[in-house]
Each structure stands twice: as C-alpha cells, then as structure tokens.
Structure 1
Amino acid sequence: MEPVTIVLPPPPVEKQQEIVPPVAPAKVEVATEVYAKTKVVPDNAPIKEVELANQEDLKNADFGTKKIEGIDPADLPAIVPSDDLTGIDGGTGNEAPENSVLDFAEEMPEYAGGMSAMSKYLSRKMNYPAAARAEKIEGTVVVTFVVGRSGEIEDVKVLKGLGFGTDDEALRVIKSMPRWKPGKQNGIPVAVRYTLPIKFSLRN
C-alpha cells in the first residue's frame, strides 16, 4: 500500500500585542489649611498671663470631662472587706474552693463513654494476679479516687481489699485511666471523690 500523506495547515500568525503606554494619574487638588492672618499689636499692649497650678493644687483635682466639685478623700466610703465579697461578680456564694474535694456534686464526674465504656476498659486492662488465681481468690475490691477539676485521676486508695495482688492490680489500672469528664457544681468544674467497686471472678 502506498503511504498516506498528511498535509498540515500553516501555523497561525501570532499578532504582536500592542504596548499601551501607562497613563499618568490625574492630578488631585488638595485643599490647604487656612491660616489666620497675623495680628499686629503694639509693644505696650497688655499680655494676659495664665498662672499654672502647683502640685498642691493638683492633688485634689478631678481630671474628668465635666467640671464638677472635688470629693474629699475623707468622705469616700470605706473599703469593703474581702470576706464580704461573697456573691459579687456573678457568684452565688455556693462555689467550692479550688482546693476542696466534694463527695457529691450536682453533676457527678463521668468516664468518657459512660459506665459501659469504663467496664470494657477495666476488663481489657485488668490482669488476674497469679497468686489470687492459684488460691482461687474471688471477690470485690473497693477503690476510691478523686476526679480533679480537669478530669485527672488523683489520690487513688483501696477501701476494701482482697489481697493476693488484687489490690495492687486495681490501683494500677485506676491510676492508668484516661481523663474523665469532671464533675460540676453550679456549672463550675470541681474535684469530686468517686468510689468504684471492682469484682474479681474466675471463669471456669
């Protein structure tokens, strides 16, 4: 077969872009400040002198926007003692001090995800001690701890133990728990003591 010859059209002629010279911005007339004419006065004209106030006069001065009579410091009300400030600035007087730990709060602390999520966490992290398994020890270890204002776990203690390594294991797992949702009193985060029973049971 004879080869097929393809004829290409000539390339398009590029038009040169016209260079437009920049246009100078129009001149804007700016109004000048109007100055008062110089007033010529005779040399013997009286000059009004202004007497400046001294430091003693400025002590009782009131630098406000209105002309008012000054107040004698002796007439000012006495300073309110700090003990009488309870309830001021939006407080109700029922807030707990920052370093106090409550046994109960309006909103109790909560593990992220609720009790079911906490039970799964404990089951996954808890190891049955070998000594307790060998002696077939079963029962409940009661642990108490504080959920801080930021949700951190603090002051972990065993209220009721079983021994044979179960107490130490319960303390280890509780201390390793992630932050909780802190408790609140009057809408303010507070530290709350929490008591949690942990049951050790052997599976047959």
Structure 2
Amino acid sequence: MKAEQVKAPRWEDIVFEYRNKAYGAYFIRKSYSKHVVLGWLLTILTIGLLVASPYIVEFLTPEEVVDDKPAKTVRYTDLQPPPPIQNTPPPPQVNIPPPVKTIIKYLPPKVTDKEIVEEEPMPTVEEIKKVETGSEDIVGTGEVVFDEPVEEVVQEAEDPNQVFAVVEQMPEPEGGMQAAMAWIGKNIKYPSAARRMGVEGTVFVGFVVDADGKIADVKTVKGISAECDKEAERVIKMMPPWKPGKQNGKAVRVKFVLPVRFKLAT
C-alpha cells in the first residue's frame, strides 16, 4: 500500500477510537463542520435578501402613470357675478298695551240725621308740663286706699342637699388655687404601670364642696388611664377642707372640676 493512499485519521475518530461510535455524540461531532458551513451560507443568503429587498420591491412594483395635463388658468372675468344682497325688512313692532289698573269708584258722602260728637280739644304744652297725662281725667283726693289685702310673701325653703354649678361666691381652697396645686404635686404618686408605659396627660376630677367645706362625691370626668385616674381621685379625697361657696349669703354645696396633670421627668 502506498503512503499517498493512507488517510490521516480525523480527530473525532481518535477521540471515539475505543468508545461506542453508535452513540449520538460521535455523529454530531462528525457532522459539525457541515452544519457550520451550512449555517454560514444561510446567514449570508438571509442578509443578502434583506439588503436587496428594497430593490426587489421597486423592480416588481409597476410604475405609476402620471397624466401631465396643462394647468388651467382662471381669470376673474370668467367667474360668475355674486348673488345680490337681499335687504330683509325687520319684523313689525307689536305694541303691548299696559296692564289695566283697578280703579275704585268715588263714593259720595252720605247725609245722616245722627248727631256728630265733637272731638275734645287737645291740651296745650303748658298744661302737659303742669300735670301728668293719661287716658282719662282723674282728680285725686290725696288718700291711699287699699281695696284688697296684700298677701305675705313666703320664701320657699331651700333644699340643703341642692348642688349648685355657679354661685355668687365660688368655693376656694385655703391659701388659694396655687397653694392647692402645690399640695397636689407634693402628695401625688406617679403610678408605676403608667410610668413604664410612658402615659402622660391631664385627669379632670369632679367633686362637690359641701357647705362645711369638705370634699365629697369625687369622680373622674375625663381620664387618661385607670391607674392615673385612681391616683388623681385619691389625692383629691385627701385635700383639706375648702372655703365653702355662698349663695344669698348662705353656704351651699357647689360642684367643682379640678385638673390633675401627670408628666414624666425628661
């Protein structure tokens, strides 16, 4: 055998020499070069078609026939005259008559046989200054006469348990309101639960100042928490007696509302 007749082995034959060539990988590797060449040819053909497509479309499209007719010149004298302007007369005015007014016929005076009462002459200014005027002329005798006995005015007994909202002299703590607020700030204790939760605000406590100045009927009007409300009520109940409120010079029970503020130290 000559050396020219001996073919050099391909690289896929060397890789799959002692392997199963019936497996699909050997066939794919063997036909890889053909597929690459075929892919390049299809790519070049596609690009060529895309580039040549405008020329192909222009070649296949028939040319439009242009009718070159000379432009027609229109002169002003060739136009028809405009239509005449018609002067339309305005509509006739309609005279609307004014509304008819109701007129009452004049009635002549009637003559009767009844006596006409002459009116009393008016008093002069000087007469009015001397005496008081009235609907009738009354001459006084100078005596005062009581036709009916005058009933004795009996004052109703006041209810000692009545609670007033506003009186002539409102109740006041001993030493004034500033002393009372200082006493509350000294005796109040901030609840531990409210301190941990950071609860702050003002509790409005309502109570009644009795006629002897003692605090009674303590109740929270507007609160911020259960612990702070109870502490505010406790402090108000412990307050010393106040100066009672007075109505008509008598000590009475008066309703009062006092704010108690809770604020954490920063």
Match of 2:215 in 1: 153
How far residue 85 of structure 1 moved from its aligned partner, in angstroms, is 2.0
**Superposition pairs of residues 185-200 of structure 1, within 5 angstroms:** 185-200=247-262
Residue by residue over 1:130-164, the C-alpha shift from the partner in whole angstroms, topping out at 9 and shown as x without a partner, is 01100000001010000000001000000111115
Distance in structure 1 (CA, Å) of the matches to 2:158 and 2:186: 36
CA RMSD of aligned residues (A): 1.8
Q: Which runs of 4+ in 1 moved over 6 A?
A: none
Partner-residue secondary structure (3-state), 1:165: helix
The gaps in structure 1 that reach 5 residues or longer are 1-79, 87-92
Cα 1:198–1:159 change in 2 (3 A) is same
Match of 2:180 in 1: 118
Percent identity at matched positions? 46
Match of 2:168 in 1: 106
Distance in structure 2 (CA, Å) of the matches to 1:96 and 1:196: 27
Distance in structure 2 (CA, Å) of the matches to 1:134 and 1:199: 17
Partner-residue secondary structure (3-state), 2:194: helix
Match of 2:205 in 1: 143
Distance in structure 2 (CA, Å) of the matches to 1:167 and 1:117: 22
Distance in structure 1 (CA, Å) of the matches to 2:154 and 2:168: 24
Partner-residue secondary structure (3-state), 2:181: helix
Distance in structure 1 (CA, Å) of the matches to 2:203 and 2:243: 23
Distance in structure 2 (CA, Å) of the matches to 1:140 and 1:200: 6
TM-score normalised by length of structure 1: 0.54
Distance in structure 2 (CA, Å) of the matches to 1:85 and 1:164: 50
**Superposition pairs of residues 23-172 of structure 1, within 5 angstroms:** 85-86=154-155, 96-172=158-234
Question: 1:147 touches 1:182 (CA, 8 Å); kept in 2?
Answer: yes
1:174 aligns with 2:240: no
The gaps in structure 2 that reach 5 residues or longer are 1-150
Partner-residue secondary structure (3-state), 1:203: coil
Partner-residue secondary structure (3-state), 2:221: strand
Larger Rg: 2
Letter in 1 for 2:162: S
Distance in structure 2 (CA, Å) of the matches to 1:116 and 1:154: 21
